Amino acid sequence: MTAAEDAQGTAIDKGEGDRERSTGVRSRIDSERLVATLFGDPRGLALFLGTLLVFGFVSRVGFFIIDSYTVATTLVNVAAGSLEVTRSPFSLVVETQPGMVDVGGRYYGRNYGQVFVAVPVLLGLRGLAAIAEPRLVLLGVWAVAGLGFGRVLGDLTGRPQLRHLASALVALVFAVGVAGATAFQSEQLPIVALQIVTLVAVGVAVVAIYRLVALLHGRRAGTAAGVGLLLGSPLAFWATIPKRHTISAAAIAVSLYLFAVSRRSGPKATAARAGTYAVLGLFATVHAFEAAVLVAVLIPVDLATAPSNDRRSLAAVAAGFAVSLLPLFLVNILIAGNPLKPPRMLPAADTGATRGGLDGDFGGGGAGGGGPLGTVLDLGNDVLQVPMFLLDMAWAGSATLSEPERLWHVFVRSGYVPGLEYSKTAYETVDLAVLESFPLLGALAWLPIAAARRLRNRGAGLDRASRTDVLAAAWTVSFVLVYLSRLPLHSMITARYILPVAPLGIYALARLGPVRAAVGGAPRWLAGGFVAATAAVLGGMLVAIGWLSLAVGEAVQLHALVALAAAAALGAVVATRSRHREERAVALALALAGGVTASFLLLSGLVYFGYGEYALDPARLLADLLPSL
């Protein structure tokens, strides 16, 4: 080879190397943009993957609540190309499934928005199951999430050993799962698809709250808020139970984040403002009445606190909201022949009565007669029914404020509640009050002090955070009021009807000065205390279960008492906090309350509630080593 040829070859190699490096840089930049768009930053990605890792591991495949039969049956039929329910692989009698509706002898299900999202998940699982054992497919998906979490955690902390440790643990779990794999019926894949959707919804809610708090108070506070929602709130209890509640929580969290972004001027703020409505419009396909509650509250708050209500901004909002409602209208037309009549307003297949939009009775019946005028009057009646029903529910909820015993059982102490149908829970007292399942809310004892300080500074204008506070508070009050008259109720476990406001509770905590001071001033005490509290409560409850031979109701109520004690301690520490630096005391109190809830979540998956079968065999093997109830 001549010198010229050698130089030419070197130049070619150098050019190819430059192109490869350039391609690698572009790929890395594209990945970073994708992470920034979906998760905000690598911390948000770590929170999302951590959600899949922890609660995917302890998940069970089965029906925890009978209502889920209807959603799973609906999914099977939609995946086969039919909105109408013509087959029922999970139950022999279609019309007896709760929530199934009858339209002229044709049966339709519920939560179609949830079902639509689950369809591609189900098709993907079926495709993978065609080339590998379904149990190994689930294990492989979990392992990928685990490896991703380890990599992101190592990059964030600058400690590659964490990445190696996480990879080793995931590899160990994967090896154990492969070695001890048991048979898994492919007929269960529709349930798994729904569970993946609700698990992802929890991850979305966690990321949204992280981004919201980080936007207002920085990444450290945002990380604490995300972890608090994931491990310190009851939201994750429902992560793999195919109910709508985690999806409702995700819709609220994402909408609140977009609302906060929109409280500034500019094109991005206008897009975020339209997105706030669009998220709720899409959520209406899952549960139209909860979406109606949220939108009814959002509109006046938005108009009152928006930087500008010019025609261009309002047109963008209206257009985004109108487009987001198209799936709802289309489903309603295909099922009921009326864009304003969601399935929950149709006659129930099991009783023939109309079902309530909020899982109760709903007054129905058209007001008009025949002909075009009758059609117009019927449509007008349908439009009025929704707000009238919601006002009635809110009024009924307001009336319960004069019933202290009911409020005590809903918000503070469950125990044995007279009149509750314990036959539905095998006569076990497993339903918890709000504070028992969410002891971190004990920190809200600081609210009266914060309110007094806000009143002293009432001359100050509302900043972006304060405007977001208004919407969060209004959503919380309205959501609680419309459901309060239905509570307490059997099979609530964690007062699940009002569970969707859990992200708002974490947001409220993040807005409290003592909480932020503890997170910023004593992060190691907070993190270390949380790990220690979780381990201590886990160990203590396992010893109590094995030593005292507790039944599930007794174990859950003992856990509830521990939670109340932690909530009381947290409230006392926060309320008596002086102006001096006491971040460590508040951090430890927060850690204790969060640890009690985290231990409840883990024990619920491994010990307390036995239904179905574990999705991953290593979780089954671990559960077999623990005391049983």
The rounded distance, in Å, linking the Cα atoms of 393 and 560 is: 29
pLDDT of residue 297: 94
Residue 429 binned pLDDT confidence (cut-offs 50, 70, 90): confident
The rounded distance, in Å, linking the Cα atoms of 484 and 495 is: 10
Give the mean pLDDT of the chain. Answer: 86
Residue 580 binned pLDDT confidence (cut-offs 50, 70, 90): very low
| CA torsion through residues 484, 486, 491, 496, sign | negative
Q: Comparing C-alpha atoms, which of 36, 265, 76, 180 is closest to residue 617?
A: 180
Is the Cβ–Cβ distance between 102 and 140 less than 8 Å?
Answer: no
Q: Comparing C-alpha atoms, which of 444, 472, 392 is closest to residue 213?
A: 472
pLDDT in tens, 150-189: 999 888 888 888 888 988 999 999 999 998 888 888 889 9
pLDDT of residue 251: 97
pLDDT in tens, 24-74: 556 666 667 777 777 888 999 999 999 999 999 999 998 888 888 999 999
Q: What is the largest CA-CA distance in the chain?
A: 98
The answer to whether residue 339 scores a pLDDT higher than 60 is: yes
52: tokens are 């899949």
The answer to whether residue 363 scores a pLDDT higher than 50 is: no
The answer to whether residue 368 scores a pLDDT higher than 60 is: no
What are the strands, taking DSSP E only, across 3-143?
60-61, 101-103, 106-108
| CA torsion through residues 395, 397, 398, 404, sign | positive
Q: Comparing C-alpha atoms, which of 487, 478, 473, 476 is closest to residue 408?
A: 487
pLDDT in tens, 476-534: 999 999 898 888 887 789 999 999 999 999 999 999 999 999 999 999 999 999 999 99
pLDDT of residue 381: 58
- Among 150-159, 327-336, 340-349, 572-581, the range scoring the smallest mean pLDDT is 572-581
- Among 272-276, 285-289, 403-407, the range scoring the smallest mean pLDDT is 403-407
Mean pLDDT of 576-595: 84
